[in-house]
Every structure is written in structure tokens, then in C-alpha cells.
Structure 1
Amino acid sequence: MVLVVGLGLAAIGLHGRFPDPRDFLGAFTGANYWWVALAAALQVVSLAAFAGQQRQILRAFGVRVSAGYAMAVTLARTAISISMPVGSAVSAGYAGRQYLRTGASKETTAASLIVSGLASIGGLALLYLVGAAALLTRDPHLLAGAQPLAVVGGLIVLTAAAAVGGRRLMRRPAGPSRPRSDGRAAAWFRRLLSSAREAWQAGAALRAREWIVGALYYAVNWLTDLLCLVATCHAVGLPVGLTTLAGIYLGVQIVRQVPLTPGGVGVIDTALVAGLTAAGATTATAAAAVVVYRLISCWLLLPAGGAAALWLRRDPAPVAP
């Protein structure tokens, strides 16, 4: 079903822009495999940065896990995220279950997932800001059309406000608990709010250094994924500059956050091909570059994540020495 939906969306988005099959196969088979190998290595670094960020956040909460265990969880949850509807939420739940195996409490697990999500926004925002600064140094007139920067700045302000608010909430003494005779649904909702408050407080209690390091890990995660796309474009000889590719990539990330299909199948592919052809690439080379990029960053991760999930089920000692 995922494949059919993805192909259908791709067909709609690329209607009238399909490359000639012979041109596509020529561009695909004629790719420079040294560039393809570099793209694969960059994707490994991207995954390793994600795993390192997970270890760093858990370590900040007093939970130690091995590098291999963190990498296995990263591969497994990535495979879940790109293969299931609303995959990000399902993969977060899977990661939470794995963290509980390490001895982390439910509150610590929830806090680590919240901090990780906010750090991901911070890392992407950092890339946006650095890229915008690089563009503005070349053409200051672009500042007039920099509305996306306001959105990025707003996300940073909201993240900082959540951390500051959580710290202030920690300083307030807890009020006396009173017995209540609410119904089962009300009691469940009250427990949920209490758990959310504890997770918020735990995340806000982290030092600024932990937040900064987490955001930097994610910046490396996003940057190396971008460079993976750059390498695949070089592999097929696509004449698109780095600045243009960065703009296309960062624009596609907005589309990527809307879970229309698992892993953005059909949606991301269409957006990338459309962006590359608009930048001057031929349809055949653009399609070949996107196919190579998606093979490395998406489809090959499915069997790798499945193998990692099997290993996690058999691993008896997830905690690092």
C-alpha cells in the first residue's frame, strides 16, 4: 500500500515531467561511484550524530548506554519512522520502550524524547540561520524577503520559553495533594498532566550546555544529510550549486514534517525532482540523483533497521560499563 500510494503521488506531481527511460538509466548507471560511496559515508555520519545525541541526552539524565546500542536504536526507529503511517510518533514510542530497558524511568524517558525533539528543531534552525547569513553576506537585499527567518526565530524563542518556564515551575513548592473522587477518565487525564509536568521539569533542569550540545549534534545530523544529497548530485554530474541545493533541501524539510505518507514516499521525491529541475537540471539527471539519494537515506535503512531491531531483542546488556 505504501508503494502504491507513493507511486501515485509521484505520478501526479511529476505528470508531464517524466524523463525518457533511456536517459534516466544512462544517468543512473553512469553515476560516479566514488561520489556515491562518499554519499553513503555521509549518511552513516548523519545517523551516528543522531545516535550520539541520544546518548548525550540520556547521559545528562544519569543513564548510560553503549554506542552500539544507541546506534541500533537509531537504525530501528528510523526504519519505523519511514515505513509506517505517523512514523515519527511510532518510532518515538519504540525508542522510549528501548530506553526503559536501560533502567531509565518513564519521566526520564519522556523528558529525553522531548529534549531530543526540541534539539532537532534547534539544529535545523541553526542551519537555516547559518545559510541565511551566508546568503545575506552575498546579497543584503535578500533581507527584505526573509520571512522564514522570523518563523525560525519564533521556534527558538518558544523553545527557550519552555525551558525557562520549566525552571521556574521547579522552584514552586508543590501544593498539598487532595483526595479527589473524579471519574476514571478524569483521573487518567490528571495522571497524564502530572507525568507531562514532571517530564517538562526534568528537561528544563538540564544545563544550557546540554541543550547546546544536543542542538549541535542535530546540526551535524542535518548538515551531513544535506551533503549526502550534494554528493549524489555530483555523482550524476548535476550542474547545481551548493547554495541552490541547500535552499532546495531546507525547503523540502518543511514538506517532510507533514506526514502525508510514510517516509514522505512520493512527496519528498517529487519535491526534490521539481526543485532540481527548476534549478536548471534535466529531468533525467534530477530523477537519477533523487533515486540514489533516497536509496541511501531511506530504502537501504529499512533492512538495516530490521536487523538492528532483531539485535536489540537479543541484546541482554544495553547499559554501557
Structure 2
Amino acid sequence: MNRGPSHAGRPARHWLRRWGPRGVALAVTGIGLYVVAPSLLAMLDAWPQLEAVRPRWFVLLAALEVGSFVALWGLTRIALSRPRHVRRAGPGAAGAGHGVPAHAGHARWRRARSVRWADVARAQLVGNAASRVLPGGAATGTVVQGRMLLLRGHPADRVASALTAVGLLTTGVLATLPVLTVPAVLIGPPPAHELQLGLVVSLVLAVVVVGLGVLALTVPRVLVSVGFAVGGVLHLLGVRVTAAGVGLALARQRARVRAAFFGNWWRSVMAAAAHRMLDYAALVAALVAVGAQARPSLVLLAYVVAAVMGMVPLTPGGLGFVETGLTGALVLAGVSADAAVLATLLYRLVSFWLPIPAGAIAWASLTVRRPEAAPLRRAGSPVA
């Protein structure tokens, strides 16, 4: 006689377990959009002013953003590629349980060429579009991107490790940029007529980031020492972390990135740096297009602020928060309020809105056209 109430309660619990988190996410997204709605409406009022921007600037911004996306596709493709053959230099040359040669200089490390550019590009475009229209932001986009790669026949374990490594490496590059701008902010050139140098600055910083990234991947003590130093400072400031804890955490993340990109460290770090710096160059081009003047180092700090705000999962893709944060940071960098609003609108039009229809087209091509020879989903296989 007690089974009736328990069975009656199961559908309700199942419904709450399935739809409760989604309802909370939608509620948080709605509140976030309500908070940033005034800034979005104010920015949309500047839309007619885009007619004064010459068409060549739209072409340049689109080319820079396409280059940024291509660099990210290349980085993902490197992480997804599986090793085909390892010729060991001798006994004990293999890594301890990881299949990685200890003496990499004396062994040949070949990667499979089965990862197609089209598969990676379409999956990333779909995930990118999902992160801009669905609650959850980047986390949702990563899940959707992984799902698209699974549909193309890539093993689930490799997809998970590759996307994690790509996220860690690109975030590491972003975290490095503010540190590199500190000397330029302190002893940089005068602010007048210096913004055009931002494209050169992006190239120089990309080279520096590549060098630092390869150094961190090849010399373990570099990143561990940085972690100990940062953890010690945070502990002195009252944060509940320890120097050893931060150092070990960075060491673990470094090991994951190193394993995912083994044998292609230079290419992977170059792709991650190109992805970030081409996106920064697009922001600089948007500012030059509207006639703004500012120091490239301060614009770079504003770009980092916008990128961090884009990671806030309150709205899809940081919609509203990025516009508000980037406009305010540009004003603090010396750009006039009107120019900051117009440059932000132009930059977000190319980097945020235009990739959404591209993602829709990529989704249609991925779901309609299935792979001709998808791997068998046997019981116990990673894909299953």
C-alpha cells in the first residue's frame, strides 16, 4: 500500500532532476540580460553611425577574425591527432605509462592524418554559435563542440582531452598578456597617434608568448616556480590558498597540455598565440576605423577585460557584460565615450554576431551529411 505515493513522487523528482538545472540557468540568463539591457540598448542606438565606417575596415576585421578562427581550428586539430608510430631509441625510451618517449630527440613521433580540417572547423563553429545563443556560455559550447566531433567518429576520450587542453592553453595565453603589458604601461610611448602600432605590438607579443609557452612546456620548473610565487602572494593577501597548492595545480595542468600537444609544442603555442593576437588586432582595427586614439598597451588590457567578461556564464557569450566592460575599459584607456561605443559595436559585430549564422550553416552540414565510414560503436568502446 505504500508503493502508490512513492511511485507518484518519482515522476516529480525525475522532472526536477532533469529540468531544474535548466530552469535555473534560464532564470539566471534572464536576470543577467535584464541587468545589461540598458547598455545593450544604448549601444544599438549607435548602429546608424556604422555607415560612416569605410567598407575596407569591415573586410579587414573579417579577415582578422577568420584568421583567429583558423588558428583555433589548427590548435584543435593538433590536439585531436593521435600518434601513429614511435620508434624508440632504446630500452626505457618510452614514457612511464603514457606512451610518450622519454628521449623525444632520438625518436620519431608521427601523428595520424585522419583529422580533417572540415570536421574540426564545423564542430568549432557549431560550438561557438551555441555558446552565444544558449545559457552556460563557453561550457555549453564545449559540450556541443564535443558532441559534433563524436558524430564525426572521433573517440570520446580523445575529444575530451583535446578540448580540455585547448581551453587550458588558450586561457594560459590570455593570462600571460596582462603581465607582458605592465612594462609598456609604465614606460610606454605617449598616447597620441600610437594606436596604429597595435598591429605591430600584436606581432611582437605573439612572438614573446610563443617563446614563453614553449619554455613552460619544456622546462617544468618555470611554471611551478610561477605557481609558487603567485600562490604565496595570494596567501599573503588573505586568499585561502597555499604556494604549494597553486604550484602543484599548475604542474598538473601543464602535464595535461604537454601530453595533448606532445611533439608539436611550437605549432600548438604558435596557434594559440595567433588565435588571441589576431582577435586583439581586430579590436585595434575597429578603434582605428572609428578614428580613436589610445596606447596599444592599454587597449590590450581592455581586450583582456573583455575576454574575461566573456567567460561570465550569466548570459550567453557574455552578451551585455562584454560590451559594458569593454566600453568602460576603452574609456579608461583614453578613448572618447562615443568612439568607444562605436568601436565596441563594430568589433562585436564581427567577432560575436557574424559567427552565429556561420555556426548554423555548419550545424546543418554536420547533421545532414554523416560520415561515410563511421567507426562501429561496440559495447565498451570510447565512442559508445
TM-score by length of 1: 0.71
Separation in 2, partners of 1:302, 1:19? 19
Shift of 1:285: 1.9
For residue 299 of structure 1, what is the aligned residue in structure 2? 353
Distance 1:257 1:156, change over 3 A: farther
1:9–1:267 contact (8 Å) kept in structure 2: no
2:129 is the alignment partner of 1:103: no
Give the direction of change, closer, same or farther, for the CA distance of 1:318–1:223 in structure 2 (3 Å limit): farther
In the alignment, the residues of structure 2 paired with residue 217 and residue 318 of structure 1 have an alpha-carbon distance, to the nearest angstrom, of 30
Q: Is the aligned partner of 1:269 residue 2:323?
A: yes
Question: 2: CA distance between counterparts of 1:95 and 1:20?
Answer: 30
Q: In structure 2, the residue corresponding to 1:86 is in which secondary structure?
A: coil
Q: Tell me whether 1:75 sits opposite 2:97 in the alignment.
A: no
SS in 2 for 1:82: helix
Contact 2:311/2:317 (CA < 8 Å) preserved in 1? no
Do structure 1's residue 260 and structure 2's residue 325 form an aligned pair? no
Distance 2:43 2:138 in 1: 32
Q: Secondary structure at the match of 2:133?
A: coil
Q: Report which of the two has the higher share of helix.
A: 1
Change in CA separation of 1:281 and 1:125 when aligned onto 2, cut-off 3 Å: closer
SS at match of 1:228: helix
Question: Which residue of structure 1 lines up, in the alignment, with residue 143 of structure 2?
Answer: 93
Over the matched positions of the two proteins, sequence identity in percent amounts to: 28
Tell me the secondary structure at the aligned position of residue 335 of structure 2.
coil
Which whole-Å CA distance do the structure 2 matches of 1:220 and 1:55 have between them? 15
Gaps of 5+ in 1: 140-148, 167-199
Question: Any idea what the Cα deviations from partners look like across 1:157-182, whole Å, max 9, x if unmatched?
Answer: 55651157x6xxxxxxxxxxxxxxxx
Q: Structure 1 residue 213 and structure 2 residue 239: aligned? A: no
Kindly tell me the number of residue pairs found equivalent between the two proteins. Answer: 269
2:252 is aligned to: 162
Whether the 8 Å CA contact 1:125–1:156 is kept in 2: the answer is no
Once the two structures are TM-superposed, the CA of residue 252 in structure 1 deviates from its matched residue by 2.3
Once residues 327 and 67 of structure 2 are traced to their aligned partners in structure 1, the CA distance between those partners, rounded to angstroms, is 25
Deviations 1:89-127 (A, max 9, x none): 222222222222343322222211221121122222343
When residues 227 and 156 of structure 1 are mapped into structure 2, their CA distance, relative to the original with a 3 A threshold, is: farther
**1:264-286 C-alpha deviation (Å, 9 max, x unpaired):** 11110011111222333332222
Moved more, 236-245 or 294-303: 236-245
Rounded to whole Å, the distance in 1 between the matches of 2:186 and 2:369 is 50
CA distance in 1, matches of 2:53, 2:170: 32
Q: Say if 2:36 is the partner of 1:10.
A: yes
CA distance in 2, matches of 1:239, 1:204: 40
Deviation digits for residues 224-279 of structure 1, max 9, x if unmatched? Answer: 11111111111111122322211111122222222111111111001111122233
d(CA) in 1 for partners of 2:66, 2:29: 25
CA distance in 2, matches of 1:227, 1:52: 19
State whether structure 2 residue 281 is matched by structure 1 residue 227.
Answer: yes
Match of 1:53 in 2: 75
* Residue number in structure 1 paired with 2:103: none
SS in structure 1 at match of 2:294 = coil
Q: Are the aligned partners of 1:77 and 1:94 in contact in 2 as well (CA < 8 Å)?
A: yes
Mapping for residues 187-206 of structure 1, pairs under 5 Å: 205-206=259-260
**Residue type at the aligned position of 1:220:** A
TM-score normalised over the length of structure 2? 0.61
- Displacement, 1:131? 3.0
Shift of 1:27: 3.9
2:169 is matched by which residue type in structure 1? Answer: A
* Distance change in 2, residues 1:91/1:3 (3 Å): closer
- Which protein, 1 or 2, shows the higher relative CO under an 8 Å CA cutoff with sep ≥ 6? 1
Q: Would the alpha carbon gap of residues 5 and 318 (structure 1) be closer, same or farther in structure 2, given more than 3 Å must change?
A: farther
For structure 2, the 5+ residue unaligned runs are 1-25, 84-110, 190-228, 235-242, 374-384
| C-alpha distance in structure 2 between counterparts of 1:76 and 1:232, whole Å | 25
On the 8 A contact 2:295/2:333 being kept in 1, the answer is no
Q: Which of 42, 47, 66 is the aligned partner of 1:44? A: 66
Confirm or deny: 8 A CA contact 2:137 2:312 kept in the other structure: no
Distance 1:20 1:249 in 2: 21
The letter of the residue matching 1:44 is V
Q: Please say if 1:290 is aligned against 2:340.
A: no
State the alpha-carbon separation in 2 of the partners of residues 207 and 25 from structure 1.
Answer: 43
Whose radius of gyration is greater, 1 or 2? 2
Q: Which of residues 262, 284, 293 is equivalent to 1:239?
A: 293
Q: Is the 8 A contact 2:151 2:370 kept in 1?
A: no
How far apart, in 1, do the equivalents of 2:148 and 2:277 lie? Answer: 27
**C-alpha spacing 1:26/1:302, structure 2 compared with 1 (3 Å):** closer
